[in-house]
């Protein structure tokens, strides 16, 4: 049976969701589940949770737990990455230090100054994982959930011998479901094509039986002034295709919203909302930990996590379509070939097979290229230890550049480098 490794298993809510899906597939219920985390207390909680689930379900899955990453990934068939390097304190620095300079963010994990520094902390660890897999599990598949999604797979296939890495995210799937609900058409009756860059992909085809459903969406927006107070709707109205990211998150990748107080109010953008979400996550961890210690366990609820669906398809041959983040290599012809792009992928026993999309509309490709330019410089900065590329990435970031002059951008970068210290690549902090 499959050997499935969860790296960063101490992210308990996420681990719970993945385990709920994996362990309730009959075909995966005899798998070996391997848990790894550098936080021993959280690893112990994850192990207790996994063992409780196996007992509750009455299945034969085997549970192993290792604080040592190499021991965990050796011989893996599938590795699911969900790490958060630096934890809550690092996220606070990513949001609070820029705020002192006047740079507003909402989540700060994908683009923007926060996304840049999250990547700089995470890439050295991901390079280590990629090197480990190339040596210890060369035929495995690495599914990664960790943001920034446009940079993390890129760093693995560009910086290590290991190439079989796929980023997975719910944004495209959730957007398609949202659009179906908005226009009142069952999702299964709609023909979708969604592609671009993670958190800035676009719904390129939105049809039923040849009918362009964007016309229905236009009528809905015209009737509802509250819809016109959403960032993603404003992006759609100006660029012609609906984006896959929420208004809160999507506002961070563009120069027209967060730098302007009146636009923050107009579009109801919640500043630093990620800190609230993380606080809720820490509360949930304590609740699960207490419940496990009391013998009550945790909810086992299927959530259709993309990594679990992909693993099931690869093990059973059940053909599915998911959206994956993979090396472009011409899948989208007017985006850089080395970039990580988000495209539909068929999955079965043959593995993850990306779909050739072709050329994006010029206007959305232009947005994606600006997004990817920041990512490319950040990946190069991390892999090559180049502090100058960190300055350049920040100067090209739309939100940061629209908020600060050059000297202040450089001051902000220096302040964040000093604050994150040894979490960053040596050449950058030196």
CA proximity to 111, closest of 325, 399, 429: 399
Distance CA 80, CA 141 (A): 8
Q: 150 and 371 in contact (C-beta within 8 Å)?
A: yes
Distance CA 152, CA 378 (A): 10
Q: 399 and 88 in contact (C-beta within 8 Å)?
A: no
Distance CA 250, CA 111 (A): 10
Is the bond leading into 349 cis (omega within 30 degrees of zero)? no
Measured in residues, the chain has a length of 430
Q: 312 and 318 in contact (C-beta within 8 Å)?
A: yes
170 in catalytic set: yes
What tokens appear for 347 in the block?
A: 């999955």
Distance CA 22, CA 31 (A): 9
Strands (E), 241-390: 242-243, 320-327, 340-348, 351-354
What tokens appear for 316 in the block?
A: 């059973």
Q: 93 and 416 in contact (C-beta within 8 Å)?
A: yes
Distance CA 414, CA 392 (A): 13
Residue tagged active-site, from 36, 170, 346, 420: 170
Active site residues: 170
């Amino acid at each position: 049976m499959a050997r499935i490794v969860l790296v960063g298993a101490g992210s308990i809510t996420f681990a719970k969701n993945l385990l709920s899906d994996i362990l309730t597939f009959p075909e995966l219920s005899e798998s070996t589940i391997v848990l790894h985390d550098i936080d021993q207390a959280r690893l112990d909680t994850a192990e207790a949770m996994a063992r409780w689930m196996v007992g509750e379900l009455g299945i034969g899955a085997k549970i192993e737990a290792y604080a040592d990453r190499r021991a965990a990934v050796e011989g893996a068939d599938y590795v699911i990455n969900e790490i958060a390097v630096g934890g809550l304190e690092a996220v606070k620095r990513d949001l609070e230090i820029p705020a002192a300079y006047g740079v507003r963010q909402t989540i700060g994990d994908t683009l923007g100054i926060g996304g840049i520094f999250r990547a700089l902390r995470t890439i050295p660890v991901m390079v280590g994982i990629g090197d480990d897999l190339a040596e210890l599990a060369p035929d495995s598949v690495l599914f990664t959930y960790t943001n920034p999604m446009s940079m993390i797979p890129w760093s693995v296939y560009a910086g290590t011998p290991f190439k079989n890495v796929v980023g997975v995210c719910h944004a495209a799937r959730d957007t398609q479901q949202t659009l179906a609900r908005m226009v009142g058409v069952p999702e299964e009756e709609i023909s979708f094509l969604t592609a671009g860059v993670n958190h800035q992909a676009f719904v390129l085809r939105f049809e039923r039986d040849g009918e362009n459903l964007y016309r229905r969406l236009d009528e809905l927006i015209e009737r509802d002034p509250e819809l016109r107070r959403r960032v993603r709707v404003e992006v759609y109205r100006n660029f012609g295709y609906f984006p896959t990211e929420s208004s809160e998150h999507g506002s961070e990748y563009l120069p027209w919203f967060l730098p302007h107080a009146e636009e923050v109010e107009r579009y109801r953008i919640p500043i630093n909302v990620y800190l609230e979400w993380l606080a809720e996550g820490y509360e949930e961890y304590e609740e699960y930990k207490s419940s496990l210690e009391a013998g009550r366990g945790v909810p086992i609820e299927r959530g259709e996590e993309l990594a679990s669906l992909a693993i099931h398809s690869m093990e059973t041959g059940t053909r599915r379509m998911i959206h994956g983040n993979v090396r472009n290599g011409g899948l989208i012809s007017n985006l850089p070939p080395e970039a990580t792009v988000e495209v539909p992928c068929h999955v079965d026993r043959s593995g993850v097979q990306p779909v050739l999309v072709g050329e994006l509309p010029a206007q959305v490709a232009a947005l994606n290229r600006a997004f990817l330019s920041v990512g490319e410089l950040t990946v190069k900065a991390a892999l090559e230890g180049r502090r100058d590329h960190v300055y350049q990435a920040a100067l090209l970031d739309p939100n940061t550049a629209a908020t600060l002059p050059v000297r202040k951008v450089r001051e902000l970068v220096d302040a964040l480098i000093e604050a994150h210290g040894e979490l960053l690549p040596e050449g950058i902090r030196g």
